[in-house]
Each structure stands twice: as C-alpha cells, then as structure tokens.
C-alpha cells in the first residue's frame, strides 16, 4: 500500500497576527500537490484563528498537549480543548521540548497515548544529538524512544513518526540523503520487528532538520522518507515548494 506523502509545518514560537494571516492566505491561494497531506502548527494563541481561516483540506496541529483531561495545570492545554476547537493534530516529543523543557520519553509517550486514544493524531518526534551521532549510537537512541512509545500505545494508526536529528534542527546542517534514509529504514525495520509488518508498512516516517526548497526533492525520492516536518521554512512562501516536493524532478 502506497503511503500518502506528508508535510508538516512547525511554526514554533514565531508569528504575529499579521504574519500568520499572510501565511494562511498564501497557503489558501497556492496550488498544492493533491496527493500530499499537509498539516501546519502555529503557536497555541493562533490555533483557532488558523483553523477557522485555513483551507479545510489542510490540517492544524497544536505544538503540545497535556496528559490530563483538565484541572490545575497552569499553562497546559488538554486534548478535549483541542477537539473542541477542531484541532485534530499535535506535535509531541520535539527535541526542543525534550531538551529545553526536559520532557522524558515517558512524558512524551503518555501525551501520545492520551492524544491518540481521544482521537487526536500525533506527529511523534525522535532523534539523536550530535554527540550521539558521533558516538555511533543513533539507532540505539531512536530505538529507545520508540520502545517507550510502544510500551504505552497499541494503535499506531494515528501516529506519524518524524525523525529529526537534533544537530540538524535550525542549524542549516542537513543529514545527507543516505544518512536520513539509513535511519528511516532502521525505524521501519524496528517497527516490523517489534510491532508488526503492517504497522511498519503503513506508518509514515518524516524527515526534519533544516529542510528547504533546495534539498527537499532529493530527500523525497528515498524509499523510506514519506515526507517532512519543516521548521523555519514553513514560515516562508517556499513552504509550498516543499509541499510539492514529490512533483519535482
């Protein structure tokens, strides 16, 4: 079964009312590959505005969700609040939250469990640091993150995996095509061995890490790269070129 190509745009903590409106208008007026699923993730303060004004064919993701249904959790956002605002995706496990905010594998897995069980799909992120890459432990690190996720969930149908080498996020450095494909292939093999052949075949695995309109086409041709999770470039008109990467030759 062919996996639908997927491109996510993570705005991170960027944007203003005017710039977000400009991004939305650009996407609404763009000619996007109809065979590519697109999801954008603005800061939480703009989630509802984006959902109400953006083309309904484009998904909208929160950049976080908590693993409790409600209560005294200042600053957090619940799955039910997302659903009430028609937000059907969340990005979880991004390295910036794992490292800066010290979210553990356990915390990320709990959030993913709660989100997916309640009907919110998740772009679940994993990846290694530069030190881990240089030590040759990339596959070991990513496998450990995957093992934690597996221990908490049973339904993988709402999960899109995003491999993001930490050393390539926002640095301008990009894993070579062969480096990216190698890890994506290893993730798919891990899923086949530890979950099922069906999950391994159907799960989309994205690459993230300084993806732009210049390098996306070559990456998109790899057999185990099913799309991208884009950071800074998602704030620019060139995001449309990345969405259309499969159409480029």
In the prediction, which pLDDT does 2 show? 85
Mean pLDDT in the chain?
95
| Distance, CA of 34 to CA of 57 (rounded, Å) | 9
Percent of the chain scoring above 70 in pLDDT: 99
Catalytic residues: 94, 164
Mean pLDDT for 11-28 is 98
Q: Tell me the backbone φ, ψ of residue 163, rounded to 5 degrees.
A: -85, 120
Mean pLDDT for 3-18 is 98
Mean pLDDT for 227-247 is 95
Residue 41 near residue 91 (C-beta atoms within 8 A): yes
Residue 47 near residue 11 (C-beta atoms within 8 A): no
What's the N-to-C CA distance of the chain in angstroms? 23
Q: What is the pLDDT of residues 87-120, one digit of tens each?
A: 999 999 999 999 999 999 999 999 999 999 999 9
| Distance, CA of 97 to CA of 184 (rounded, Å) | 22
| Distance, CA of 206 to CA of 94 (rounded, Å) | 13
Is residue 1 very low, low, confident or very high in pLDDT (cuts 50, 70, 90)? low
In the prediction, which pLDDT does 249 show? 59
In the prediction, which pLDDT does 247 show? 85
How far from the centroid of its chain's Cα atoms is residue 233's Cα? 14
In the prediction, which pLDDT does 166 show? 86
Mean pLDDT for 48-61 is 98
| CATH number for the domain whose boundaries are 5-247 | 3.20.20.70
Q: What is the pLDDT of residues 132-175, one digit of tens each?
A: 988 999 999 999 999 999 999 999 999 999 999 988 877 777 77
Mean pLDDT for 210-236 is 94
């Amino acid at each position: 079964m062919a996996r639908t190509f997927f491109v996510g745009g993570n705005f991170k903590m960027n944007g203003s009312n005017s710039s977000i409106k400009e991004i939305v208008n650009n996407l609404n007026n763009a000619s996007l590959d109809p065979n590519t699923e697109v999801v954008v993730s603005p800061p939480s303060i703009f989630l509802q505005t984006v959902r109400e004004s953006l083309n309904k064919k484009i998904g909208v993701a929160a950049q976080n969700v908590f693993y409790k249904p409600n209560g005294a959790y200042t600053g957090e956002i619940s799955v039910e609040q997302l659903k009430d605002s028609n937000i059907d995706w969340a990005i979880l496990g991004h390295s910036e939250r794992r490292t800066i905010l010290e979210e553990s594998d356990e915390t990320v897995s709990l959030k993913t469990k709660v989100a997916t069980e309640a009907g919110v799909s998740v772009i679940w992120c994993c990846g290694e640091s530069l030190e881990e890459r240089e030590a040759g432990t990339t596959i070991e690190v990513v496998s450990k993150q995957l093992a934690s996720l597996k221990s908490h969930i049973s339904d993988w149908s709402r999960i899109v995996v995003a491999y993001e080498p930490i050393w390539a996020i926002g640095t301008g450095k990009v894993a070579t095509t062969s480096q990216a494909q190698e890890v994506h292939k290893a993730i798919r093999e891990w899923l086949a061995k530890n979950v099922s052949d069906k999950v391994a075949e159907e799960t989309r695995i994205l690459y993230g890490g300084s993806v732009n309109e210049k390098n996306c086409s070559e990456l998109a041709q790899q057999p185990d790269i099913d799309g991208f999770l884009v950071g800074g470039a998602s704030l620019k008109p060139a995001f449309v070129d990345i969405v259309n990467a499969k159409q480029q030759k």
